[in-house]
Amino acid sequence: MTALLQFESVARLKSFTQAAKELGVTQAAVSKQIKVLEENIGSSLFNRLPRGIELTHEGQALFAVISKSLQKIATIFDEINHESSHKEITLGATASFSQFQIMPRLAALRDAMPELKLRLTTQMFTGDLRTQETDIVVRYGDGQWVDGESIFLFNEEIFPVCSPGWLAHNPAPTSLEELASACLLEADSTSEGWMNWQGWFKALGLSTHKLNYTLRCNLHANAVHAALHGHGIGLGWGRVVEHLLTTGELVRLEPFVVRPTDAYYVIIPDGRSATPEAWAVIRWLQQRAPLSATIESTVIT
């Protein structure tokens, strides 16, 4: 068991040194345990590279099983030791989804589940859920991930947005060419597949490198805040900014829209069983009205 636990730490951290620090032992002790484990299995678990290590095929198979087993053990410990009959639910999501989709609706969630304890964690990039302490995670993509069960939430559409103040002092673009030369607020693409302006224009058939960026941000949430403060036109992800459109804080510039085939999903990590509280949160997340289909759009395949 000692060797297996030390192997899990090395595989997860991809470093003998970092694993030794985490476990509070020497690197030599960790290396010895891994060597004993490899001798007992009769196969190498790591490829030793000039600048690090990587799991072999056998190592990947063993890591997947151990990670899932440890997650199941942790879940049982949580259930046994939890002081309350209502388990705290840890929900992972991007900063934009948390700030603009979840936060405005928390009061309704509390009304529906007054005893629920919720913990939000922000994730900028898609990480392996088998190494994270989350009960459920919201992801955007095709729903095909190997580290958990995918449950469809809702689809998405992407369109330009700005503040009423910006629109009062600037003409509304009437063509893609006019939009490309307007004051654009850019957010970097992430590994989750979120689209930037260049990809959005390309999806609508306008391939141009002459976009007028007035501000570039590495987080989509910052670009949305910049739009709220009247600094230009941002890309609005409909499910993220729908609350801001309802309140009138942002204005949707029509008729420009892209409807991607990717969608939002809730992921239940491998090794975890969704509790009744987790299922209640999932159902709450799914309670969204269909996005408007009245505007002519482009569907990306």
**Residue pLDDT, tens place only, 66-78:** 888 887 887 777 6
Where does 161-262 have alpha helices with state H? 164-169, 176-180, 197-203, 220-228, 238-247
- Give the start-to-end residue ranges of the domains of the chain: 2-80, 85-301
Q: Give dist(CA 183, CA 215) in Å, integer.
A: 8
Q: Does domain 2-80 have CATH number 3.60.15.10?
A: no
* Widest distance between CA atoms in the chain: 73
Q: What is the pLDDT of residues 265-288, one digit of tens each?
A: 999 988 777 888 889 899 999 886
Name the architecture of domain 85-301.
3-Layer(aba) Sandwich (3.40)
For residue 216, the Cα-to-chain-centroid distance in whole angstroms is 21
pTM of the full structure: 0.64
Q: Is 300 a residue whose pLDDT tops 90?
A: no
Q: Which of 110, 108, 137 is nearest to 121 (CA)?
A: 137
Cβ partners under 8 Å of residue 11, min gap 6 = 45, 46, 55, 59, 62, 63, 66
Q: What is the pLDDT of residues 77-107, one digit of tens each?
A: 766 665 544 568 889 888 888 888 899 888 8
